[in-house]
Amino acid sequence: MTDYLSVVKAPKKVKLSALVNLEYCMELQFLGTGAGMPSRERNVTSIALNLPERPVSWLFDCGEGTQHQILRTTIKPGRIEKIFITHLHGDHIFGLPGFLTSRSMNDSKGPLTLYGPPGIRSFVETTLSLSGSWVSFPMEIVEISAGTVYDDEFYRVIAGPMNHPVECYGYRIEQKDKPGALDAGRLAADGVPRGPWFHDIKQGRQVVLDDGRLINGWDYVLPGTKGKTLTIFGDTSPGNAALTLAKGADLMVHEATLEAAMEQKANSRGHSSTVQAAEVARQAGARRLIITHLSSRYQRADCPRLLAECRTIFPATELAQDFSLFSL
C-alpha cells in the first residue's frame, strides 16, 4: 500500500521489462494528481498503465507537463502505444502537443493511437500545424462515443459518459482471462506424447492419439488466471453511468476534487467530493478505490483528513500522489 505521508520520490531506473513480467499484474502509475492547475506538490492529470503481456504503457489523459513527469519514471515515451483522453479541458490535454513532438524528436518509430471525444483530432492537428510541428511515427486518432473503443486478445476498453460541463468519458479496462498452462505431469503420467496436438489440447478440444485413445483437452489444462478490471474516471459529478462503468471493478480511480464540506461547490462545476467518490465505489461493488484530481487548495498535510473522509464510507481507499505506483 502506498504511504500518502511519505516523501514521494521517482522510482529507481530499472528496465520496463522487469516491471511487466510480474505474474499477470498490471501497474498503475500516477504522473499527475492535481485538479485544474499544477501546484508545488501535484502536476495536472495523467495516469500511466503498464501492461504485463508486452513492454508497453497506455496513458490516460496528458495534462501540461506530463512529459516532464515521465522523465522522472522508468516509462519510455516510445513504448507508449495508446493515449486515452477523458475530455478536452486543458488540465487533461495541454501536454499532448509537447509529448507528441518530443516523441518524434527522439526518433520513436512505434505506432501510437490516440482516443478521445469529438474535437481531439482538431485540437491535435491544429496545434501541430500552427506550431510547424509534426510526428515521425504512425499515429491514428479515434474520436470515441460510449461503448467498446478497443478490443484485442488481452484487453477490452469500454468508454462510458460522465457528468461534466463538456463531453467527458470514463474508461473500463477489462483484462481478459489468461488460459491455464498444460499439466505436464499428467500428460506424462498418461503417456500423452509431445506433438502438434498440444495446441488443440490447450484449447480444451478432444484429441485422438496415434494409439486410438480419445482424450479431453480440458483434463490436461491447469486452472487459468482470471483477468482484472480497472476503471479510470474522467472528471465527473455523481451519476448512474459511473456505477455501471465501475460495477464489480477490482480497482476504481475516481476524482475527489473537494472535501465533503464543499460538495455543493464541487457538483456545481461537474466534480465530486471525497465522500461522493467513496459512495460510488461502495455502490458499484468495487474492491479498491484510489482518489486523485485534488484541488490545489490542499497540501500534503490535508491528505490524511481527505482520506479519512473516504474511508468512513469505503475503507479500501487510497490517495494518489504524483509518482504513486499501484499494482493490480
| Binding positions | 87, 89, 91-92, 164, 235, 293
Angle between helices 303-311 and 274-284 (to 10 degrees): 30
Please state the separation of Cα 263 from the chain's center in Å.
26
**Binding site for Zn(2+): residue ranges?**
87, 89, 91-92, 164, 235, 293
CA angle 240, 245, 251 (to 5 degrees): 120
* Count, residues in the chain: 328
The candidate with the shortest Cα–Cα distance to 193, out of 223, 213, 179, is 213
List the strands of the sheet with 57-60, edge to edge. 139-143, 112-116, 80-84, 57-60, 46-50, 27-32, 325-327
From the DSSP assignment, how many helices (H) and strands (E) are in the chain?
A: 11, 18
Q: Which residues are part of the catalytic machinery?
A: 91
Q: What are phi and psi of 200, to 5 degrees?
A: -70, -35
* Angle separating helix axes 120-130 and 96-105, nearest 10 degrees: 60
d(CA 318, CA 4): 8
Cell of 124: 491535435
CB 78 within 8 A of CB 110: yes
Environment class of 188 (CB within 10 Å of its CB; exposed 0-12, middle 13-18, buried 19+): exposed
Alpha helices in 285-324 (DSSP H): 303-311
Distances (CA, A) of 246 to 170, 231, 238, 286, 287: 9, 6, 12, 7, 10
